[in-house]
Structure 1
Amino acid sequence: MNTIIEQNFSVPYRYQVCFTENLFSIENHLFLEALEKGKKPKVFFVIDSGVSDSHPDLVTAIKNYSSNYSGNFIIAAEPLIVPGGEECKNDLSIYQKVVEATHLFGIDRHSYIAVIGGGAVLDMAGFAAAISHRGIRLIRIPTTVLSQNDSAVGVKNSINAFGKKNYLGTFTPPVAVLNDFNFLKTLDDRDWRAGVAEAIKVALIKDLSFFTWLEENAEAMARREIEPMKTQIIRSAQMHLDHIAGKDPFEFGSSRPLDFGHWAAHKLEHLSDFRIRHGEAVAIGIALDSAYSFLQGRISRSDLDRIFRLMHTLGFQLFAPELEGDNLVKGLKEFQEHLGGQLTIMLLEALGKGIEVHEMDESLIHQAVDKLSEFHHQQQSGI
């Protein structure tokens, strides 16, 4: 005889994504407002070395902020400076340092880990926070365009393992995301540009008007004008949040519309030994899947030209030698494994409208690569 007792419950999640400047100036209370009221918690800071190098006064500013608001929170220990980029997700000893700090400094479930950096550092520290004490509260302070308009606003945390991107990870929401636009001013041109790829992605699959806005403001963003970049970041972040609030925020199914262009991007990052940064790889992946959509007759040649032209105006390179050969196609199988089920790839049915497919033609993938190579050589030749 079988006895079955069924459990069914839901847990609401709520967190704010905030935009500001000079987060750690004494006059700015945004960081304080992210902390639980009526208590004096410990906060442990993890900082991307690229950010600390570009902002040498950051640690001092944090300490002065803490001293001024000593009744509100305590800095648990000296901030931990970690390498940025994929190195911090590939080297398992780095996330272990964050976990070790929770043990050494008594950082418990009522404490906070505040991580300041690009998307890779946010992923890594978020993973460490999620597995320590079964979940330490996380405050994300993203410092790149890509992390402010996409990765930091979501619920994913991860590190790489077994040569695969994001193999180990959790779905754990932060308690707050605090975006300081001032961090963007010290980005190099590559990181300034790279994050816009995620805005193009969400615009192409969800909102033609946003895609048109990106076209109209591409030259200004390429000139590093901050106001259109702020607008782009906030609008992209809102669209990503709207999607996350939908029917499958923890991705139990195989449908992941926001991974448009990402199956190729993830493989390309590894094939290039991460010479190609994530946003740059996403731009190439979007261009590839857009060309594939064109070859299938889903979008017109003029549509494809608009996509390529927008990316070129922003400064993206849409071809890399790693695209050639059979290694890229192997990324499809790896992506299916990552999905944990049926292969589901987002393509374009029209500008501003995505469509999911469950198989891809290898010969068309190679033809799409040829389209990218052709466009690349035309641009190199000034045609």
Structure 2
Amino acid sequence: MSMIHRTIQVGFDLRVFFTQKVFAPANPLLQEVLTRDKNERVHGVLVVIDEALSQSRPELVQEIESYFSTASKRLKLVCPPMIIEGGERTKNSYFHVSEIHSHIDRYHIDRHSYLIAIGGGALLDMVGLAASTAHRGVRHIRIPTTTLSQADSGVGVKNGINAFGKKNFIGTFTPPYAVVNDFDMLLSLTDRDKRAGYVEAIKVALIRDKGFFEEIERDAGLLAQFQPMAMHHLIRRCAELHLNHIASSGDPFEFGSARPLDFGHWAAHKLEQLSEYKIRHGEAVAVGIALDVVYSRKMGFIDSASTERILKLLETLGYELYANELLHVDSDHSLLVLKGLEEFREHLGGELTITLLNGLGSGFEVHDMVLPKIVESIFELQDRHNRRAKIVPAFG
């Protein structure tokens, strides 16, 4: 036997910019990002917008067209922005990926052109898959427009769609050319969507940074009222911690079996599916974190006081910590949510690896879960939920 062996190293720059009014004529940021390569050629630009965003901000399409009409001569908007449905529905088939591929072909978007996605995390996931598979990769710019995508999914390296009843079954690891977080994009969100990203900040704080967790506790009242400066600080710090992990963990493309940034997600992904995505990702993650925190306490990994601080913070920010789907069963009366453990393992292969807590800001990995303790934890969350929901009779 003979063999030729070479180690191939590829470097990526993952840059996340923070701004406001990204398409204002006086804001040069996006033009500078798109023309930083010093190549004198004209770069084609194809824009995809989340349908819900275009409905809440009907002026956005005109702003984008006006922006590029007066932008650098090196940038050309190749066609009016594409309007595509967002939310989990956009990830449930390959249709929209093919639709974007057809525009990339029709308008000659090449590897020196740009595909810009403006929307929530689901749309960014889907457009990122289209960008990373056309021509084996065209330059992709993400402009996340929700707290969840600005703080978490939009600043990562994952792209994907759902298939075979499993979340993100088809996907790629491809860092975007750049991410531009425009805080003004958050203004039109509903309270439900503004709240959604908080849980990912709590997640990364719990496994990485006790000080950040305490900052979120301190600002909980302001965050519950969606005070802009508190929200902006949370998003920026959460994004920074995510980028730190991607850049320094040694496994940015998840070749191993560990996904520490998916703390609380094994149950969350299954809850989304069981609810037919009526439970949104952030809401499902809140339940998943609560479940794994209570489980950690029952296993003796974390103390009761820390557990209560975590659960109380989630509740203060407006999250429910229990969902009826936790007790859905199959024909054998087995809890369906428990199948999320095997699906979580299968997604990476190898042995099951779940991140749990042994302290605030301190995550560690286990390779098996005690099912009766998970069930006990579910019932504890149900009891807590019922106590909070109990209506106290009025007197007089």
TM-score, with length taken from structure 2:
0.95
Which residue matches 1:64? Answer: 66
Q: What one-letter code is carried by the residue in structure 2 that aligns with 1:177?
A: V
- Pairs within 5 Å for 1:87-102: 87-102=89-104
Number of the residue aligned with 2:116: 114
Residue 378, structure 1, aligned to residue 387, structure 2: yes
In the TM superposition, what are the counterparts of 1:1-383 in structure 2 within 5 Å?
2-35=1-34, 36-37=37-38, 38-246=40-248, 247-324=250-327, 325=329, 326-381=335-390
Which residue type is aligned with residue 191 of structure 2?
Answer: D
Distance, in Å, in 1 between the alignment partners of 2:72 and 2:213 is: 46
1:124 alignment partner AA: M
One-letter code aligned to 1:301: S
Q: What's the CA shift for 1:330? A: 0.8
The CA distance in 1 between the partners of 2:24 and 2:82, in whole Å, is 21
- In the TM superposition, residue 7 of structure 1 has moved relative to its aligned partner by 2.2
Distance in structure 1 (CA, Å) of the matches to 2:48 and 2:230: 30
Which amino acid in 1 is paired with 2:339? K
Q: In 1, distance between residues paired with 2:391 and 2:146?
A: 31
Query: 2 CA distance for matches of 1:222 and 1:96?
Result: 40
- Distance in 2 separating the partners of 1:302 and 1:74: 57
Q: Give the C-alpha shift of residue 271 in structure 1.
A: 0.3
Q: Using the TM superposition, give the Cα deviation of residue 381 of structure 1 relative to its aligned residue in structure 2, in angstroms.
A: 2.1
Rounded Cα–Cα distance in structure 2 between residues aligned with 1:303 and 1:120:
33
Q: CA deviation at 1:3?
A: 2.3
Please tell me whether the aligned partners of residues 344 and 356 of structure 1 are also in contact (alpha carbons under 8 angstroms).
yes
Measured in 2, the distance between the counterparts of 1:14 and 1:40 equals 23
C-alpha deviations, 1:82-108, integer Å up to 9, x for none? 101001000321111011111111111
Q: What CA RMSD, in Å, does the superposition of the two structures yield over aligned residues? A: 1.0
Gap runs ≥5 in structure 1: none
Does the CA contact (< 8 Å) of 1:32 and 1:72 recur in 2? no
Q: Count matched residues.
A: 382
1:69 is paired with a residue of what secondary structure? coil
Distance 1:164 1:248 in 2: 23
d(CA) in 2 for partners of 1:42 and 1:52? 22
Q: Please give the alpha-carbon distance, in whole angstroms, between the structure 2 residues aligned to 1:6 and 1:168.
A: 30
Distance 2:144 2:298 in 1: 38
Counterpart secondary structure, 1:252: coil
Moved over 4 A (4+): none
| Range moving further from structure 2, 297-306 or 278-287 | 297-306
The amino acid that maps onto 2:336 is N
Look up the equivalent residue of 2:33 and give its one-letter code.
A
Identity %: 51
Contact 2:65 2:80 (C-alpha < 8 Å) held by counterparts: no
Displacement after TM superposition at 1:72 (Å): 2.7
- What SS is found at the alignment partner of 2:41? coil
Q: Which amino acid in 2 is paired with 1:305? A: E
- State the SS of the aligned residue for 1:292: helix
Check whether the contact 2:19–2:183 (CA below 8 A) recurs between aligned residues: yes
